Amino acid sequence: MHDFVMPVGPQSPALKEPMLLKLKLEGEEVRSVDMRLGYTHKGVEGLLEGKNVDQAMYVASRICGICSISHERAFIRTVEDMMKKEVNERVKLIRTILFELERISSHLLWAGFMMHEIGFDTLFQYLWREREGVLDLFESICGNRVHKNICKIGSLRYDIAPVQEREVLDCLDSMQEKLKDYEDEIKKNKVIKERLKGVGKISKKTAIEYGLIGPNARASGIDNDVRRIDPYDSYADINFKTIVIKKGDAMERTLLRMREVHESMGIIRQCVEMLPSEKIPKFSLTNIKEGEAIGRVEAPRGELFYFLKVEDGLIRRAKVRTPTFAFIKILEKILKGVKIGDVPVIVASLDPCFSCMERVLVAKEDREEWMTEAEFRRKYSC
């Protein structure tokens, strides 16, 4: 019996991990799972203590590169709740547009990664090429492709010009047809179906027991979208569907995310139409003395939760609970009894921020042997 230690990483922030999965195998089946985290732990919560709100926002948005705006938005929701601050309509709509654009970018990134994981590099290249269009929009509106830093308390740093509104709609139009083709390919292609169908099934009961959130939960029959349950920004005024399906395997999780991309496009189109002509207010430095509040948003991976306690104008305690941290525990349950070859696909299908099995470490009692992913696949015929 070997002890395999498979590093899954690098991972996204906010909760910080590439993690190490120690799998005990019997033959080809996984018997037990032990998780080790902490490979990207930087001490962000310690870093946020002692800073004022404006300084802390800069750090908060850099916790994650994939859901950067989600972090900003959750942080701001917490502070605006603390200050009981009202926000004008245009600011809300622009924030919604950027938030949904980030959801599209994150789902396309993940879908490309998933295809790469099962060896289908063609779709990986195509999906990431489409994603470049969205990153161009970010660069045009916010100035940076990855860390947008655009939200401010009560306002935004930049406004959207009419020509940029046109750019947004053009980008979505050009992506729509192609994404439908890719989705069809995923549904019909034999290789993809064989690797994904029936793999990594999560029943609704397990999902509820382990507190599963986000698209993974929606693929197992739980409707838990924070945008609908606890709306923020303009979500209460917009017509959109929360897609919930019941099968709960890796294929359904993939297709659900592709469909969510289409829903996001619908939300963005409605927002652009609803944009009023008044300008956004100028932002200023935040002036807050005491307060304690929580805020949550629906990040691309699930519910992102922030807790802030402010005393004497400085942050005394900041708690960031990212969606991955909340659901990663379920791996201990669903990896039991599966074949070793399916493990990378199942972990990747949960979208734990960024799951890429870079290296596999095989530990045989006292001897360690590093293998590349390709060698591992060859040896264990995945």
Partner 1 sequence: MKKKHNYVKKSPWVIDYDVGGCNGCNLEVLATLTPRYDVERFGVVYKSSPKNADVLIVQGCLNKKAVKRLKKIYSQMAEKKVVMAVGSCAITGGPFAEAYNFAGPVDKHIPVSVYVPGCPPRPEAIIDGLLKALRMVKEE
Partner 2 sequence: MRLVAIVCVQDQGPKKEDFRLLYYFDKGDGKLIKRIRKVGRRSMRTKSIIREHPVADLFEREIHDYYGVEFEGNPNLHVPLFLPEEEKNKHPLLKGEKNA
Where do contacts with partner 1 occur on this chain (CB under 8 A)? Answer: 9-13, 16, 18, 38-44, 46-47, 58-59, 62-66, 68, 109, 125, 128-129, 132, 144-147, 353-354, 358-359, 370, 372-375
Give whichever of 185 and 230 is closer to partner 2, judged by the CB atom. Answer: 230
Give whichever of 95 and 296 is closer to partner 2, judged by the CB atom. Answer: 296
294 binds partner 2, rule: CB under 8 A? yes
Give whichever of 135 and 314 is closer to partner 2, judged by the CB atom. Answer: 314
Instruction: For the segment 230-269, give every residue that binds partner 2 (CB under 8 A).
Output: 230
Residue found under tokens 């190490």: 20
205 binds partner 2, rule: CB under 8 A? no
291 binds partner 2, rule: CB under 8 A? no
Instruction: For the segment 18-37, give every residue that binds partner 2 (CB under 8 A).
Output: 36-37
151 binds partner 2, rule: CB under 8 A? no
Write down the least CB distance from residue 59 to partner 1, Å: 5
Nearest-angstrom CA–CA distance, 4 and 6 = 6
Determine the size of the site formed for partner 2 (CB under 8 A).
32
- Please tell me what DSSP assigns to residue 126: H
Write down the least CB distance from residue 55 to partner 1, Å: 10
Write down the least CB distance from residue 228 to partner 1, Å: 28
What count of other Cβ atoms lies within 10 Å of the Cβ of residue 52? 16
Nearest-angstrom CA–CA distance, 271 and 265 = 10
Give whichever of 51 and 339 is closer to partner 2, judged by the CB atom. Answer: 51
Nearest-angstrom CA–CA distance, 18 and 259 = 28
Give whichever of 167 and 230 is closer to partner 2, judged by the CB atom. Answer: 230
194 binds partner 2, rule: CB under 8 A? no
- Please tell me what DSSP assigns to residue 41: -
Nearest-angstrom CA–CA distance, 237 and 231 = 9
DSSP secondary structure of 329-343: GGHHHHTTT-BGGGH
276: preceding bond cis by omega (within 30 degrees): no
Write down the least CB distance from residue 16 to partner 1, Å: 7
* Contact predicate 82/292, CB 8 Å: yes
Angle of the 250-274 helix axis to the 89-117 helix axis, nearest 10: 150
Nearest-angstrom CA–CA distance, 317 and 44 = 11
Tokens of 286: 């935040």
Please give the residue ranges that form the binding site for partner 2 (CB under 8 A).
16, 36-38, 41, 43, 45-46, 49, 208-211, 213, 224, 229-230, 294, 296, 303, 305, 307, 309, 316-317, 319, 321, 325-329
